[in-house]
A and B are shown apart, each in its own frame.
Chain A
Amino acid sequence: AQSVSQHNHHVILSEAASLELGCNYSYGGTVNLFWYVQYPGQHLQLLLKYFSGDPLVKGIKGFEAEFIKSKFSFNLRKPSVQWSDTAEYFCAVMMDSSYKLIFGSGTRLLVRP
Protein backbone atom coordinates (compact mmCIF):
# COMPACT_ATOMS: atom_id res chain seq x y z
CA ALA A 1 0.00 0.00 0.00
CA GLN A 2 1.10 3.55 -0.65
CA SER A 3 2.42 5.22 2.47
CA VAL A 4 4.43 8.13 3.79
CA SER A 5 6.82 7.72 6.72
CA GLN A 6 8.22 10.35 9.00
CA HIS A 7 10.77 8.70 11.22
CA ASN A 8 11.20 11.40 13.84
CA HIS A 9 8.08 11.84 15.93
CA HIS A 10 9.59 14.33 18.36
CA VAL A 11 12.64 16.50 17.86
CA ILE A 12 14.08 18.90 20.42
CA LEU A 13 16.71 21.41 19.35
CA SER A 14 18.34 24.51 20.69
CA GLU A 15 18.13 27.75 18.76
CA ALA A 16 20.64 28.04 15.92
CA ALA A 17 20.95 24.27 15.60
CA SER A 18 20.48 22.73 12.19
CA LEU A 19 17.36 20.75 11.40
CA GLU A 20 16.71 17.81 9.16
CA LEU A 21 13.40 15.94 9.21
CA GLY A 22 13.11 12.73 7.28
CA CYS A 23 10.30 11.80 4.94
CA ASN A 24 10.11 8.63 2.85
CA TYR A 25 7.31 7.37 0.68
CA SER A 26 6.49 4.03 -0.87
CA TYR A 27 5.37 4.45 -4.48
CA GLY A 28 7.19 3.84 -7.72
CA GLY A 29 5.31 6.26 -9.95
CA THR A 30 5.24 10.00 -10.36
CA VAL A 31 4.91 11.95 -7.16
CA ASN A 32 4.34 15.52 -6.07
CA LEU A 33 5.74 16.27 -2.64
CA PHE A 34 4.81 18.72 0.09
CA TRP A 35 5.82 19.83 3.54
CA TYR A 36 3.20 21.47 5.73
CA VAL A 37 3.63 23.15 9.09
CA GLN A 38 1.10 23.57 11.86
CA TYR A 39 1.98 26.14 14.49
CA PRO A 40 0.27 25.75 17.87
CA GLY A 41 -3.40 26.59 17.55
CA GLN A 42 -3.17 27.39 13.85
CA HIS A 43 -4.08 25.93 10.47
CA LEU A 44 -1.87 23.71 8.37
CA GLN A 45 0.25 25.92 6.12
CA LEU A 46 2.29 24.99 3.08
CA LEU A 47 6.05 25.30 3.64
CA LEU A 48 7.18 24.13 0.23
CA LYS A 49 6.32 21.80 -2.60
CA TYR A 50 7.99 19.87 -5.40
CA PHE A 51 6.36 19.04 -8.70
CA SER A 52 9.23 18.82 -11.17
CA GLY A 53 12.56 20.38 -12.08
CA ASP A 54 15.28 21.20 -9.57
CA PRO A 55 15.04 18.59 -6.81
CA LEU A 56 16.25 21.13 -4.25
CA VAL A 57 13.23 23.21 -3.33
CA LYS A 58 13.28 26.36 -1.28
CA GLY A 59 10.28 27.33 0.80
CA ILE A 60 9.20 29.98 3.23
CA LYS A 61 11.01 30.93 6.43
CA GLY A 62 14.37 29.56 5.30
CA PHE A 63 13.24 25.97 4.88
CA GLU A 64 14.34 23.79 2.00
CA ALA A 65 13.83 20.19 0.97
CA GLU A 66 15.57 17.83 -1.39
CA PHE A 67 13.83 15.21 -3.48
CA ILE A 68 16.02 12.14 -3.93
CA LYS A 69 14.12 9.87 -6.27
CA SER A 70 16.42 6.88 -5.80
CA LYS A 71 15.85 6.99 -2.06
CA PHE A 72 12.13 7.84 -2.26
CA SER A 73 12.89 10.66 0.13
CA PHE A 74 11.99 14.32 0.56
CA ASN A 75 13.80 15.50 3.67
CA LEU A 76 13.18 18.95 5.14
CA ARG A 77 16.11 21.07 6.24
CA LYS A 78 16.83 24.39 7.87
CA PRO A 79 20.40 25.48 8.66
CA SER A 80 19.55 27.42 11.81
CA VAL A 81 16.26 27.03 13.66
CA GLN A 82 14.54 29.66 15.73
CA TRP A 83 12.26 29.38 18.73
CA SER A 84 9.39 30.41 16.44
CA ASP A 85 9.89 27.23 14.39
CA THR A 86 8.32 25.23 17.21
CA ALA A 87 5.47 23.45 15.46
CA GLU A 88 4.35 20.17 13.99
CA TYR A 89 5.63 19.34 10.52
CA PHE A 90 3.85 17.06 8.07
CA CYS A 91 5.19 15.54 4.90
CA ALA A 92 2.57 14.77 2.25
CA VAL A 93 2.69 13.05 -1.10
CA MET A 94 0.39 13.32 -4.08
CA MET A 95 0.77 10.24 -6.28
CA ASP A 96 0.41 10.12 -10.06
CA SER A 97 -0.75 13.73 -10.23
CA SER A 98 -4.00 12.86 -8.50
CA TYR A 99 -5.46 15.43 -6.17
CA LYS A 100 -5.25 13.25 -3.07
CA LEU A 101 -2.69 13.96 -0.38
CA ILE A 102 -1.27 11.15 1.72
CA PHE A 103 0.20 12.49 4.93
CA GLY A 104 2.97 11.27 7.15
CA SER A 105 2.34 10.99 10.87
CA GLY A 106 4.00 14.30 11.63
CA THR A 107 7.03 15.44 13.60
CA ARG A 108 6.71 17.68 16.62
CA LEU A 109 9.61 20.10 16.77
CA LEU A 110 10.43 21.95 19.97
CA VAL A 111 13.07 24.65 19.74
CA ARG A 112 14.47 25.77 23.06
CA PRO A 113 15.52 29.41 23.34
Chain B
Amino acid sequence: GAVVSQHPSRVICKSGTSVKIECRSLDFQATTMFWYRQFPKQSLMLMATSNEGSKATYEQGVEKDKFLINHASLTLSTLTVTSAHPEDSSFYICSARDFRLAGGIYNEQFFGPGTRLTVL
Protein backbone atom coordinates (compact mmCIF):
# COMPACT_ATOMS: atom_id res chain seq x y z
CA GLY B 1 0.00 0.00 0.00
CA ALA B 2 0.91 3.65 -0.26
CA VAL B 3 3.14 4.85 2.56
CA VAL B 4 3.85 8.39 3.65
CA SER B 5 6.60 9.15 6.13
CA GLN B 6 7.38 12.24 8.15
CA HIS B 7 10.62 13.30 9.73
CA PRO B 8 11.20 14.04 12.49
CA SER B 9 8.44 12.44 14.55
CA ARG B 10 9.12 14.79 17.45
CA VAL B 11 11.07 18.01 17.70
CA ILE B 12 11.69 20.40 20.55
CA CYS B 13 13.16 23.78 19.75
CA LYS B 14 13.79 27.13 21.32
CA SER B 15 11.63 30.12 20.59
CA GLY B 16 12.93 32.08 17.60
CA THR B 17 14.49 29.15 15.78
CA SER B 18 13.24 27.55 12.58
CA VAL B 19 12.20 23.94 12.21
CA LYS B 20 11.90 21.91 9.02
CA ILE B 21 9.52 18.95 8.74
CA GLU B 22 9.78 16.54 5.82
CA CYS B 23 6.96 14.59 4.23
CA ARG B 24 7.84 11.79 1.83
CA SER B 25 5.77 9.45 -0.29
CA LEU B 26 7.75 6.22 -0.15
CA ASP B 27 6.24 4.04 -2.85
CA PHE B 28 4.27 6.38 -5.07
CA GLN B 29 4.59 9.77 -6.65
CA ALA B 30 2.57 12.50 -5.03
CA THR B 31 1.53 15.33 -7.31
CA THR B 32 -0.14 16.96 -4.35
CA MET B 33 0.62 16.98 -0.65
CA PHE B 34 -1.41 18.56 2.10
CA TRP B 35 -0.27 19.94 5.44
CA TYR B 36 -2.58 19.81 8.45
CA ARG B 37 -2.27 21.02 11.99
CA GLN B 38 -3.96 19.35 14.92
CA PHE B 39 -4.41 20.93 18.33
CA PRO B 40 -5.06 18.66 21.32
CA LYS B 41 -8.54 17.19 21.26
CA GLN B 42 -9.41 19.12 18.12
CA SER B 43 -9.82 18.56 14.40
CA LEU B 44 -7.14 18.36 11.79
CA MET B 45 -7.09 21.79 10.18
CA LEU B 46 -5.84 22.09 6.62
CA MET B 47 -3.02 24.62 6.48
CA ALA B 48 -1.93 24.46 2.87
CA THR B 49 -1.90 22.46 -0.34
CA SER B 50 1.46 21.77 -1.90
CA ASN B 51 1.71 21.03 -5.62
CA GLU B 52 4.92 19.71 -7.10
CA GLY B 53 6.81 22.40 -8.94
CA SER B 54 4.53 25.28 -8.02
CA LYS B 55 3.76 27.54 -5.08
CA ALA B 56 1.70 26.23 -2.22
CA THR B 57 -1.86 27.37 -1.71
CA TYR B 58 -2.50 28.49 1.86
CA GLU B 59 -5.79 28.39 3.70
CA GLN B 60 -7.27 31.57 5.07
CA GLY B 61 -5.57 32.68 8.25
CA VAL B 62 -2.35 30.71 7.68
CA GLU B 63 0.72 32.91 7.40
CA LYS B 64 2.69 31.84 4.35
CA ASP B 65 5.81 33.64 5.53
CA LYS B 66 5.59 31.78 8.82
CA PHE B 67 4.95 28.35 7.39
CA LEU B 68 7.14 27.90 4.32
CA ILE B 69 6.23 24.98 2.08
CA ASN B 70 8.38 23.54 -0.66
CA HIS B 71 7.41 20.63 -2.91
CA ALA B 72 10.53 20.22 -4.96
CA SER B 73 9.96 16.66 -6.14
CA LEU B 74 7.15 14.17 -6.61
CA THR B 75 8.09 12.41 -3.39
CA LEU B 76 9.05 15.19 -1.00
CA SER B 77 7.38 18.22 0.52
CA THR B 78 8.83 20.23 3.39
CA LEU B 79 7.19 22.51 5.91
CA THR B 80 9.45 25.02 7.63
CA VAL B 81 8.12 26.79 10.70
CA THR B 82 10.12 30.01 10.78
CA SER B 83 10.92 31.90 13.96
CA ALA B 84 8.89 29.43 15.97
CA HIS B 85 7.03 30.55 19.07
CA PRO B 86 5.29 28.53 21.79
CA GLU B 87 1.91 29.06 20.12
CA ASP B 88 3.25 27.13 17.11
CA SER B 89 3.52 24.02 19.26
CA SER B 90 1.22 21.47 17.70
CA PHE B 91 0.94 18.19 15.83
CA TYR B 92 1.64 18.61 12.13
CA ILE B 93 0.38 15.94 9.72
CA CYS B 94 0.92 15.66 5.99
CA SER B 95 -0.98 13.67 3.42
CA ALA B 96 -0.29 12.86 -0.20
CA ARG B 97 -2.16 11.81 -3.31
CA ASP B 98 -1.42 11.25 -6.95
CA PHE B 99 -3.92 13.15 -9.08
CA ARG B 100 -2.58 11.60 -12.25
CA LEU B 101 -4.10 8.23 -11.41
CA ALA B 102 -7.44 7.31 -12.95
CA GLY B 103 -10.14 8.75 -10.75
CA GLY B 104 -8.35 12.04 -10.10
CA ILE B 105 -9.88 13.72 -7.07
CA TYR B 106 -11.54 10.47 -6.06
CA ASN B 107 -8.24 8.97 -5.12
CA GLU B 108 -7.45 8.39 -1.52
CA GLN B 109 -5.23 10.70 0.48
CA PHE B 110 -2.54 8.82 2.39
CA PHE B 111 -1.50 10.26 5.70
CA GLY B 112 1.85 10.48 7.41
CA PRO B 113 2.30 9.65 11.08
CA GLY B 114 2.64 13.28 12.13
CA THR B 115 5.30 15.43 13.76
CA ARG B 116 4.91 16.80 17.25
CA LEU B 117 6.51 20.21 17.56
CA THR B 118 7.17 21.72 20.96
CA VAL B 119 8.54 25.25 21.11
CA LEU B 120 10.01 26.25 24.44
Task: Please list the residues of chain A having a beta carbon within 8 angstroms of any beta carbon in chain B.
Answer: 4, 9, 32, 36, 42-46, 49, 51, 90, 94, 97-106
Contacts and interface: CB of A to CB of B under 8 A. Distances in A.
Nearest to A46: B108
Interface of B: 4, 32, 34, 36, 41-46, 49, 93, 95, 97, 99, 105-106, 108-114
B43 A44 contact: no
B49 A100 contact: yes
A43 B108 CA distance: 14
Contacts, number: 47
Given A101-B46, A103-B44, A104-B43, A44 B105 contact: no
Given A43-B111, A43-B112, A44-B111, A100 B46 contact: yes
Contact of B105 (A97, A104, A106): A97
Given A32-B106, A42-B113, 11 more contacts: A43-B110, A43-B111, A43-B113, A44-B93, A51-B106, A90-B44, A94-B105, A99-B97, A99-B99, A101-B46, A101-B109
B13 to A, nearest CB: 23
28 contacts: A4-B43, A9-B41, A32-B106, A42-B113, A43-B4, A43-B110, A43-B111, A43-B112, A43-B113, A44-B93, A44-B95, A44-B111, A45-B111, A97-B105, A99-B49, A99-B97, A99-B105, A100-B34, A100-B49, A101-B44, A101-B46, A102-B43, A103-B36, A103-B43, A103-B44, A103-B45, A105-B43, A106-B41
Nearest to A6: B43
A34 to B, nearest CB: 9
A67 to B, nearest CB: 16
